[in-house]
Structure 1
């Protein structure tokens, strides 16, 4: 079969398939439960509902804010927030070779994922530079990719299209314009979902984060995924539905008292969380490890685009730059340079005002000193000539899991980075190097303690001599 990308404008895909049901590849069908929701007496699509809720729209026709930014940002920590993400990109990948395609073209280990699971993955250049971050929802017969912009979805579809060759049984469907996407966020999100459909959603609500389930609503498929709103480090769920019922879902959650959040408010929330986005933090100037996306990267899954460079970065025990938060003195534009004393140490990539009206941002800062990774939280810097403080960002992961740090996996990283084939001897060498490094650290610590003790003894002797001298003068 000749692999191709099916565009929304020309593709004929059944509604169930468009949202991710059966319609390609192999595997058992996922059964549908039924959502029973109380829908308010409001006719219209999501935009009509947003007009009724007081939305202010931007030039792109998206609800930028509802005039309740502070309340919405605070509700992420204390209540329930409703976000329309229908303008995001959604791709459905089908065919028997779908897993192999995404496994080889992105950083996550797709071969280990099972239907019903989710995972973040990054798409990078051959030199491991960032192109985009996606969340993958794995189904029995397809994989759904969600990215945070429609342009990003189109670019990703075009990129995948270029690496689908004759004989590849895989297709990429852009379903963005025929589906809706809604996020319900905050600690009350689970409470509300349990009220709406406790039995149907039990697998998602009681399971670990990253699970998803396909349910039915008014004869249309709806995905409910426990993926924290795709990018914020707060409790939450993302729903992907046929566009015919997206408005009803939005209305149902609004009727539960959810605080609506517009695109400008979401931008502030993602900056506070430190979630990188395409074109700002995710560019070809940075790697996913620098962007704090260790959790979206696997080094032991075999060869893939960018793996060699990522393996070398990992073996070096740290990256030269890292994405960090910034507490700023005032309004600052992206691109502003960050200084420590008289040296440039980084650049600002995004800024906003937080729930308290304070200016904050994220940016890349130099994070290695004399070959050693350094902790930056709390460090004072200058941004655009004004004082600023480096802060932690909840979304970032700065190291691999314990499994990924094992000698066997590090040996696999050496193989990927150098081409050596004797993984067993490499693992033994790494273990020996780790032991010697620990011994050196113990020796350094002992030497430091000895120096400190000698210094303390000299100070004590000096103080005793000074005291004797003072006593002699008094006599």
Structure 2
């Protein structure tokens, strides 16, 4: 794969504007990270929406603009997220505006964003800057998929083709299958596969998106107890084989010890019983041996 590449995520991800005086406080009470730390235009962070049982609704991005927050989630989870926010909005001054149809999102994989954009920028992971390309105003966020650095570009959808043509001067456009392969190879979780209400954030290795010092949020008691008493039963891992894999149960010594949740040919992502990880690095899928790789 070209070291500099990009993928159009416009129809893959949803974008929701949150307006009103209580938007930060409300999201802080609904998700795992310290949303109250967002105070200035250009700041952002990742956080996990969890159920009251501490299970994953989705891993989302929150970006702080002067007059609103931009929430970015998987397109398949946005209805649940919107309903979740609405359910817990009682007296709070919070308004939701779904801007998915009016905006675009493009993810760029590049070692140095300054090699693409003319200005010199530096920002922390999840923060963003605003720039102008060919007369088009865009927001560029610094992101990462585990160890893979990337940048997300947001803007008005009517200008998407202009930005795509601009990026083609520097990078190769990825097909969805290539992006999925990259996601699996770096062990990054996806909504509907690894990010579901079957798993909790600690099993999904989302510790970096959890504040263990903030006030209460939905599901906090469960997540905190799992962390404090080391009660996490499963762990997300990468798996590989000499044979093509499929989604399904994996075994060790004839017993089910985990589940493959994503596959691309002979590579995949799975959840494995943590006790098994202490015993072996090889399990079975059907009649095939499967190697476990820690993320």
Q: TM-score, normalised by structure 1?
A: 0.59
1:94–1:170 contact (8 Å) kept in structure 2: yes
Shift of 1:206: 2.3
Tell me which protein shows more strand as a share of its residues: 2
Shift of 1:99: 0.4
Distance 1:367 1:389 in 2: 15
Matched, 1:277 2:193: no
Matched, 1:365 2:291: no
Aligned pair partner of 2:254 in 317, 342, 360: 342
Give SS of 1:246's match.
Answer: helix
Give SS of 2:46's match.
Answer: strand
1:210 paired residue number: 126
| Deviation string, structure 1 residues 217-270 (Cα, Å, up to 9, x no partner) | 566541111113xx35322211100012111011101022x1111222111111
Tell me which protein shows more helix as a share of its residues: 1
2:46–2:126 contact (8 Å) kept in structure 1: no
1:139 paired residue number: 65
1:107–1:122 contact (8 Å) kept in structure 2: yes
Unmatched 5+ residue regions in structure 2? none
* CA spacing shift, 1:186–1:392, aligned 2, 3 Å: farther
Give SS of 1:251's match.
Answer: helix
- CA RMSD, Structure 1 to Structure 2 (Å): 1.9
After TM superposition, list the pairs within 5 Å mapping 1:143-182 onto structure 2: 143-147=69-73, 149-165=74-90, 167-182=91-106
1:96 paired residue number: 21
Give SS of 1:252's match.
Answer: helix
2:246–2:260 contact (8 Å) kept in structure 1: yes
- Which structure 1 residue ranges, 4+ long, deviate > 6 Å from structure 2? none
| Deviation string, structure 1 residues 309-358 (Cα, Å, up to 9, x no partner) | 001101112511000000123222212x21222322111111004xxxxx
Aligned pair partner of 1:240 in 154, 165, 183: 154
1:89–1:154 contact (8 Å) kept in structure 2: no
Give SS of 2:217's match.
Answer: coil
Distance 2:17 2:228 in 1: 35
| Deviation string, structure 1 residues 165-194 (Cα, Å, up to 9, x no partner) | 2x321111110010011111032x42423x
Distance 1:323 1:332 in 2: 17
Aligned pairs, number: 293
Shift of 1:392: 2.3
1:190 paired residue number: 113
1:214–1:223 contact (8 Å) kept in structure 2: yes
Aligned pair partner of 2:172 in 238, 253, 259: 259
Shift of 1:288: 0.7
Shift of 1:297: 1.1
1:186–1:234 contact (8 Å) kept in structure 2: no
Q: TM-score, normalised by structure 2?
A: 0.93
Higher relative contact order (CA 8 A, sep 6+): 2
Shift of 1:162: 1.8
Distance 1:160 1:330 in 2: 44
| Deviation string, structure 1 residues 13-55 (Cα, Å, up to 9, x no partner) | xxxxxxxxxxxxxxxxxxxxxxxxxxxxxxxxxxxxxxxxxxx
Give SS of 1:122's match.
Answer: strand
1:328–1:383 contact (8 Å) kept in structure 2: no
Unmatched 5+ residue regions in structure 1? 1-70, 354-358, 394-475
